[in-house]
Amino acid sequence: MLADTDESQQQRFLLARWVDEHSDALYRYALRKLGDRHVIEDILQETFLAALRSVNDRRGESSTRTWLIAILRMKIADFYRLRERRREEVGFDERQEWVRESKLKAWDASASNTLENEEFWTVLRACVDKLPGTLSAAYFLREIDGLTVSDVCESLGISSKNLAVRLFRARALLRDCLDANWFHPSDRLEDR
């Protein structure tokens, strides 16, 4: 019982420290992605709770802020996925009127194009997963999440020149990985 109390106190202390040191940056990030302050507050709470649950699994390859932003990014993605799923499932609003956004997807994509697109994203995800932690964090924050250079540098604790080097290396590794795993020599533009 005493050990449970100590662990609980440690978790409260850790949570208080994270909120004190990182909540402003997380809020600004979420505000750019979501815009709705009420939703942001809920998602930030979920983010901190998820961080507490997974703190023992953390590898420590990136700063605490970068780790928390990665968790927040996943919570935001979950929010949009759930919202879209609800919209597609329902199709009608509270007044039983058709929700225009829930209409069926366009039929213009052929099955082979859809399959190819899914395969490409699978390969791209695998290539991004192969990036070393420092390059992956820089690439995700700048290219995927769209943070400004100054925000990425602050989050990672690096200079803008160091960020430029990391992004250059990440892009080069991604290009090589995609060349090896997706593009075929006969499909390359320079071969045409």
pLDDT bucket at 42, cuts 50 / 70 / 90: very high
Contact 92, 99 (CB under 8 A): yes
- CA atoms within a 13 Å half-sphere pointing along the CA-CB vector of 156: 27
Cα separation, 154 vs 22, whole angstroms? 11
The candidate with the shortest Cα–Cα distance to 162, out of 137, 128, 125, is: 137
Report pLDDT digits (tens) over 101-137. 544 444 444 545 545 567 777 888 888 888 888 898 8
Confidence of residue 91 (pLDDT cuts 50, 70, 90): low
Residue 176 pLDDT: 87
On average, the pLDDT of the chain sits at 77
Q: Tell me what the mean pLDDT of segment 170-192 comes to.
A: 67
Structural domains in the chain plus CATH codes:
1-103 (1.10.1740.10), 110-182 (1.10.10.10)
Higher pLDDT, 95 or 20: 20
